[in-house]
Amino acid sequence: MSINGYQDLMQGPLQTYLQLSKQLGGDIATHANLVNDAFQEQLRYIQLAASRSKPSDGEQVQLLKSTSDKISAIQQYREKNRASNFFNHLSAISESVPALGWVAVAPTPAPYVKEMNDAGQFYTNRVLKEWKEKDKTHVEWCRAWVQLLSELQAYVKQYHT
């Protein structure tokens, strides 16, 4: 596993997404903090996996529990904020963030990341439609998220296929 490759992903596309989320503020910024937590957990998992032999299935479940819990928190935040003016933003992330579950997909996890990216597209399209004339930051935000998952897919394909 390439720890450096994943760190590059976090320092590049993830940071772009986080900065745009912070700019937009409110529920989007709060939600993005949860996303950052999930990526941090996945980095810890990748670092651990690089330093040991393949875990048993039971161990794997335990090792992935933290990431799974973070994904659940992201999805629960969306459910608790259905009245948010940014519900489509929250939904775009919530529908596609299960892409972080790629570590449990064998033998070819990269297509799974793409499937999850595509799953969020319905909502990113809604955000684009609603905001393209009002505030371009929302458009950039959508592009940043899609780019992050596209680069995650490329990382997975390069190092884990």
- Tens of pLDDT along 112-138? 999 999 999 999 999 999 999 999 999
The rounded distance, in Å, linking the Cα atoms of 107 and 80 is: 35
The rounded distance, in Å, linking the Cα atoms of 93 and 114 is: 14
- Tens of pLDDT along 47-57? 998 888 888 88
Question: Quick one: tokens of 68?
Answer: 């799974």
- Tens of pLDDT along 54-90? 888 888 889 899 999 999 999 999 999 999 999 999 9
Percent of the chain scored above 70 by pLDDT?
99
Write down the pLDDT at residue 52. Answer: 86
The 8-class DSSP code of residue 26 comes to H
pTM: 0.95
The mean pLDDT value of the chain amounts to 95
Q: Is 155 helix (H, G, I), strand (E, B) or coil?
A: helix
Write down the pLDDT at residue 86. Answer: 98
Given a cut of 80, is residue 2 above it in pLDDT? yes
User: Is the alpha carbon torsion for 80, 86, 87, 93 positive or negative?
Assistant: negative
Write down the pLDDT at residue 82. Answer: 97
**100 or 57, which is more confident?**
100
Would you give the end-to-end CA distance of the chain in angstroms?
10
**One-character DSSP codes across 87-114:** HHHHHHHHHHGGGGGGGG--S--HHHHH
Write down the pLDDT at residue 93. Answer: 98
The rounded distance, in Å, linking the Cα atoms of 144 and 60 is: 30
The rounded distance, in Å, linking the Cα atoms of 116 and 101 is: 10
| Mean pLDDT for the stretch of residues 24-34 | 98
Given a cut of 80, is residue 149 above it in pLDDT? yes
DSSP H helices, 2-135, are: 3-9, 15-24, 26-50, 57-80, 87-96, 110-119, 121-131
As a residue count, the chain comes to: 161
Given a cut of 70, is residue 108 above it in pLDDT? yes
Q: Answer whether 92's CB lies under 8 Å from 123's CB.
A: yes
Fill in the amino acid letter for 52: R
At the top level of CATH, which class does the domain 3-160 belong to? mainly alpha
Confidence of residue 106 (pLDDT cuts 50, 70, 90): confident
Q: Is 46 helix (H, G, I), strand (E, B) or coil?
A: helix
